[in-house]
Structure 1
Amino acid sequence: MHIDSLIELDGRAVRASADVVRRVTPADLARPTPCGDWDVAALLAHMTAQHRGFAAAAAGHGGDLAGWQPVPAADPVAAHLAAADQVLAAFAAPGLDGRRFVLPEITRAPDFPATQAIGFHLVDYVVHGWDVATALGIDAPPLDDAVLAAALRIARAVPDGADRLAPGAAFAPARPVPTGADALTEILLLLGRHPVPA
């Protein structure tokens, strides 16, 4: 997929997840989420840090681990929305196609081509948008077929093995995908979420 198309799809996923985050109130911050022991406040802090880290990586500064660390915010929603704008602007910068992204928070590999890195970001925000919506007890953010198809291709390529059991692993072990599952359900199951009754 051409990088411009991928950036456009990622932007749709980011904006959809941001629309869900806008619905978070201070009373929601202690709610549990599908992300292990994280409550909504911890999930938003993670999402915010990931946006900032990917924005730094797009600018050639991804190797600085400080840029990936969650930082407490007086207004977690506003902080997240600002970081979402930051990563969208970073991905829109000219000349991104030839860059390599250093993603130390994501993987031990030295670096990745921009298209692969943006693909990681895309699938992350498809899943995290669902995570926040599930924590709030509302419907998942609407995503068009093109976004889901791209995210599904990426989710199918994510290795499933012992690394997913390690502390801090990005995803839990994959779960069986029933015949006829829709794209979002398959993405979530492949990445260890529980979108359907076990």
Structure 2
Amino acid sequence: MTHTLLTRLLILLSVLCVHTTALVGADDEPIEPLRLAVIGLDHGHVEGVLWNAMNRDDLAIVGIYDPNPALFEKYRDKYHLDPAWFSTDLGAMLDATRPEAASVMTPISDHLEVVQACAPRGVHTLLEKPLAFDLDDARVMAHLAKEHGVLVLTNFETSWYASVRTAQAIVDSDDNLDITRVVFRHGHKGPKEIGCSEEFLEWLTDPEKNGGGAIVDFG
């Protein structure tokens, strides 16, 4: 994998956590914006992607898919979304817009279907945690990634927390520091209590769409 391609794919991992305005390639020249599709609009993290796309010049949304047009209307004006980007047909959207990568914001039960659509088209995918509904789905995704030479990434959102980065900096600053134990505690009052949207709660609390509950969700 070339340095430039790796840099472009790292943009995809950074869209939810880094508010910089541009990244540069191997020659310190601004790189072309990453062509991004947003697949699904009913995940609570989707606004992070939409906000970054609106405020960064190294990221360009070229297509948006969701089976519910009302969700697109909910975000259209707030994030300056072009109606031409939107489709209720995933395959048609991917073929028409030819994204390099996709940020997947669907229920976990739909992850496999999305990878099955994206991988043969050469589209890298960033899936919100957890990766898959079950081990069988994960194995199929791994096979598709290898077969088509694409990346299937999982965004473990807790990895981006400032506390985690600070802990890593402390470890890196002292070569003589021996780590004997790491304890990580994190949580919140609950998705409804912290104000998650109704469309997010509809599948987040459904065991047939989300699956593992809080232990799996927090990784």
Compare CA radii of gyration and give the structure with the larger one.
Answer: 2
Query: Which TM-score applies when normalising by structure 1?
Result: 0.27
Higher helix share: 1
**Which has the larger strand fraction?**
2
